[in-house]
A and B are shown apart, each in its own frame.
Chain A
Amino acid sequence: MDLNRQSTILWAFLRRDLLNELSYKLSFFLQLLGIFPVVLMFFFLSRLVGNTISGPLEPYGGSYFPFVLIGIAVQNYLTLSLSRFSGSLRESQLSGTLEAVLATPVRLASFLMGSTAYSFVFNALRILIYLAVGTLIFNVHFNWARLPAALGVICLTIAAFCSLGIFSAGFIMIFKRGDPVNWGFNVISWLLGGVYYPVSILPDWLQKAADFIPMTHALKALRVILLTENDLSSLGGCLMDLGLWGVIGLPVSLFCFRYALNRARMLGTLGHY
């Protein structure tokens, strides 16, 4: 596969989506502005919580606001980017562009990566704004020296989450509407992934279930990296689990998506919605 050609295609998708988003100027800026009230709300909530749950928060620096700030930033990033796989496909079915794009010699992996590239880039900007607001306005201390390690974890997390996104896109390819994969995964992540509270406060059996969710490992690793000075060697298990999601999940989800695409081509429903 020619890397130069693939990067040209990726850039073309990125540019297309940026132009499209900028054509809705108000929506573009409201998406960014929307971050501030959310952060403010959790700031006040953290004042209410105070030190009442400091024990379970001890492994993550002991303070609720930085803990939840990372939780909502990462959860926001991953769920928005994840939903883009199925969302982008659905949009192209509705606009009739899916057949036009698939009639060109673009490879399946390039098509999937291209369709979501903008979302991953734009939402990375959102995560930075979350952290910047926390640092500059609310004086949250992040361990910025460990940013490269955090970026490494984010890359592993993206690979893990992409497999779920591609699987949900396959679902949309066949069933057109409804997205139980995304929906189910979001709900489970909110509930068990440790976005708003530490997983350690859950009953034992739910903690065991939470171990199977990539969000749990991503958040644990990022919080330890950015909020503490703890030794990172303790994160080996988390990184291994995230890596496994990517290594096993990506080929399986691509296989499923290819099956769904071929089924739509067999049924002649590629452009249907």
Chain B
Amino acid sequence: MDQNSPAIECISLKKTFGAQTVLQDINLLVDAGNILALVGTNGAGKTTLLKILASLIIPTDGKALVCGYDVIREPIQAKTKLGFVPSEERSFYWRLTGLQNLNFFASLHNIHGKERDHVVNAALAAVGLEDKGHIRFKEYSSGMKQALGIARGILNDPPVLLLDEPTRSLSPDIAKKIRKLMQNKVRNEGKTILISSHNLQEVEELADHIAIIHHGAIQALGSINALKARAKLSPSTNLNTLFEHFTSGC
């Protein structure tokens, strides 16, 4: 791995499921210390792209790298560099407490002993669950489950975070806390975040760059202001209008 490798790189990435093309010719380069938001309608291919980067799906063609590690040829190395937060609630052990769940996943990241206790408690506090760790996961609300997923994603302090609709079920106060956490990770710790979200207001608040995905292809990629200029829209135009501009007629 080259020290100057981009945090995330996709080269001519393609994914088909049978006759259906889910991703086509995806080229992305995200440098460390940036937030890139994937914006697109349901079924646009955002989750598939995140899962390819997390080594959970094998692409049909092309290459994907995390911190210079090929996610297919060097999956273990690539996975040590990332935290993946899926959008699904059902990715924990329901009869275990939040704390027990995080302890388990921390061990899989080779974090143990007192360091594990510290890391797990810090992760719970970061998402506002510091006093909810001893409650069984099955008794968590949807928002708490989502927050625990984010806590799991940051356990190993990864340089790259992949977040699939991370604030979907969160209450406004916790969502705000999570956004602050993400901004802090990027601005102060130099982490990189690839986030998929339907919440365009959140995207506007968080992202340095956006990638508009439609029918599996990137229709536009760049900073929000640059894309507005490219579309000849005024700087005050909202992201929804920008999104429609690049996806209408595709």
The interface of chain A, by Cβ under 8 A from chain B, is: 5, 8-9, 11-13, 15-16, 19-20, 23-24, 95-97, 99-107, 262, 265-268, 270-271
Contact = CB atoms under 8 A, between A and B. Distances in A.
A265 B136 CA distance: 31
Contact of A97 (B77, B92, B100, B107): B92
A19 B104 CA distance: 11
Nearest to B155: A104
B108 A104 contact: yes
A12 B107 contact: yes
Contacts of B110: 5, 8-9, 105
B197 interface: no
B73 interface: no
Given A8-B107, A16-B104, A103 B90 contact: no
B189 interface: no
A20 B93 contact: yes
Contact of A268 (B51, B90, B94): B51
A9 B106 CA distance: 10
Cβ-closest 10 pairs across A and B: A12-B107, A96-B90, A104-B108, A100-B91, A23-B95, A105-B79, A103-B84, A265-B58, A96-B91, A105-B80
Interface residues of B, number: 35
Contacts, number: 92
A81 to B, nearest CB: 21
Given A16-B96, A16-B104, A270-B56, A107 B48 contact: no
Nearest to A96: B90
B57 A97 contact: no
A265 B57 contact: yes
A97 B93 contact: yes
A96 B152 CA distance: 15
Contact of B56 (A11, A16, A19, A265): A265
Contacts of B79: 103-105
B229 interface: no
B245 interface: no
A99 B56 contact: yes
B36 to A, nearest CB: 19
B88 interface: yes
A20 B96 contact: yes
Nearest to B18: A267
Nearest to B112: A8
20 contacts: A8-B107, A11-B107, A15-B103, A20-B93, A95-B92, A96-B90, A97-B93, A99-B86, A100-B92, A100-B105, A102-B55, A103-B54, A105-B76, A105-B109, A105-B110, A107-B76, A262-B58, A268-B17, A268-B51, A271-B56
Contacts of B55: 102-103, 265
A107 B77 CA distance: 11
Contacts of B95: 19-20, 23-24
B70 to A, nearest CB: 14
A268 B100 CA distance: 29
A13 B96 CA distance: 13
Nearest to A91: B93
Contacts of A271: 56, 88
Contacts of A99: 51, 56, 86, 91
A95 to B, nearest CB: 6
Contacts of A12: 103-104, 107-108
